[in-house]
Amino acid sequence: MLRFLLARLGVLIPTFLGVTLLAFGLIRLIPGDPILLMAGQHVVSDEQRATLMQRYGFDQPLPVQYLTFLGELAHGNLGQSITTRQPVLNEFLTLFPATVELALCALLLATLIGIPAGVIAAIRRGSVFDHVLMGTSLTGFSMPIFWWGLLLIILFSGTLHWTPVSGRIDLLYFFEPVTGFMLIDSLLSGQEGAFTSAARHLILPTIVLGTIPLAIIARQTRSAMLEVLNEDYVRTARAKGLAPSRVVGVHALRNALIPVVTTIGLQASSAFSGAILTETIFSWPGIGKWLVDAVGRRDYPSVQGGILLIASIVMLVNFSVDLIYGLLNPRIRHGR
């Protein structure tokens, strides 16, 4: 197990360095002067621009800037936002709970619906339910997030008036955040109706962000179950007269969950990338919307730090999934 762990850790180091290079280089490929965008409508003289360029190190050659970025990163410093003058790490930690709350709710929705739906579709292979599930999952996987989000807003917010359009809670409620998770903080506040308001604001973003993971998890569960149901030990369990629920729940599903767990871990990682569009559509004050705004302002430190932190979280999630996979299947950690 130690060798398996070290092998996975050895992959993380070059991956992390590659992410730093991409985070540093991609934002600089976008046209636009960060100093002029920071000034806005104010007129900036050449002398003032040169001073600001020197202050932020933009007057240095790109290799020097990159090495400076790595040096600061080695000391745990992600830099300071050009726009807000606040440390990037502080801004990230302030907004990160909103993204985590949305991603967890979306993943929970996808898992609670996707796994049972995939199991039922596998058991009733070729039935109407199976065909409907496969068609629906294909549609959900192919549906663009921005189109799906706008469609739900028009239907449930604009036409039916069932859900709010944007934000995390109604402006009627105000309380100091304790955990950063609005559902928990609204309960702790003790204000009547606060939790209901927070839950209603979360419905549409959760559905939009959870649609693609739900489709993928359902299809993966169905495929894994079909493969396991044809194994000899499952047929033997049926021949012994075991209850169908025990055959499916204990003998089949337990072994089918190995690839499903990997799929869920990968979808947890992709939820952060999908949150960028979802948060922008619903004006959800999380990391995704913050990054989009930072790119528009050419806020180099915020974009670099945000991408690097999200990539680090994704790598840690994938690393955890690899460990779980190795624990569930000993052949993986022994290289078989």
Q: What share of the chain has pLDDT > 90, as a percent?
A: 28
Q: Is 60's pLDDT higher than 70? A: yes
Q: Is 329's pLDDT higher than 70? A: no
pTM score above 0.85: no
Nearest to 217 by CA among 82, 115, 147: 115
**Rounded Cα gap, residues 137 and 223, in angstroms:** 13
What's the pLDDT score for residue 43? 64
What's the pLDDT score for residue 30? 81
Which residues, other chains included, contact 219 with Cβ-Cβ below 8 Å and sequence gap of 6+? 118, 134, 137, 141
Helix (H, G, I), strand (E, B) or coil at 244: helix
Least confident of 13-17, 81-85, 228-232, 249-253: 249-253
What's the pLDDT score for residue 133? 86
Q: Is 70's pLDDT higher than 60? A: yes
Banded model confidence at residue 331, pLDDT cuts 50, 70, 90: low
**Average pLDDT, rounded, for the chain:** 85
Q: How confident is the model over 288-316, as a mean pLDDT?
A: 87
Which residues, other chains included, contact 112 with Cβ-Cβ below 8 Å and sequence gap of 6+? none
Helix (H) or strand (E) holding 241: none
Q: Is 150's pLDDT higher than 70? A: yes
**What letter represents residue 296's amino acid?**
G
**166-194 pLDDT tens trace:** 889 998 898 888 899 999 999 999 899 99
Least confident of 106-110, 115-119, 169-173, 249-253: 249-253
**Rounded Cα gap, residues 90 and 178, in angstroms:** 16
**Rounded Cα gap, residues 121 and 129, in angstroms:** 6
Q: Which fold has domain 91-296?
A: MetI-like fold (1.10.3720)
**Rounded Cα gap, residues 165 and 152, in angstroms:** 10
**Rounded Cα gap, residues 111 and 91, in angstroms:** 30
Quickly tell me which residue has 């025990």 as its tokens.
246
Distance of CA 316 to the CA centre of its chain: 13
Banded model confidence at residue 326, pLDDT cuts 50, 70, 90: low
**Rounded Cα gap, residues 259 and 239, in angstroms:** 26
What's the pLDDT score for residue 205? 94
Banded model confidence at residue 206, pLDDT cuts 50, 70, 90: very high
Residue-wise DSSP of 154-198: IIIIIIS--S-SSSSS-TT-----SSS-HHHHHHHH--TTHHHHH
**137-149 pLDDT tens trace:** 888 888 888 889 9
Banded model confidence at residue 38, pLDDT cuts 50, 70, 90: confident
Q: Is 199's pLDDT higher than 90? A: yes
Q: Is 333's pLDDT higher than 60? A: no
Q: Is 336's pLDDT higher than 60? A: no
What's the pLDDT score for residue 184? 94
Residue-wise DSSP of 63-113: HHHHHHHHHHHHTT---B-TTT-SBHHHHHHHHHHHHHHHHHHHHHHHHHH
Banded model confidence at residue 57, pLDDT cuts 50, 70, 90: confident
**Rounded Cα gap, residues 234 and 224, in angstroms:** 13
Q: Is 18's pLDDT higher than 70? A: yes
Q: Which of 24-33, 154-163, 250-259 has the highest mean pLDDT?
A: 154-163
Query: Across-strand partners of 320?
Result: none
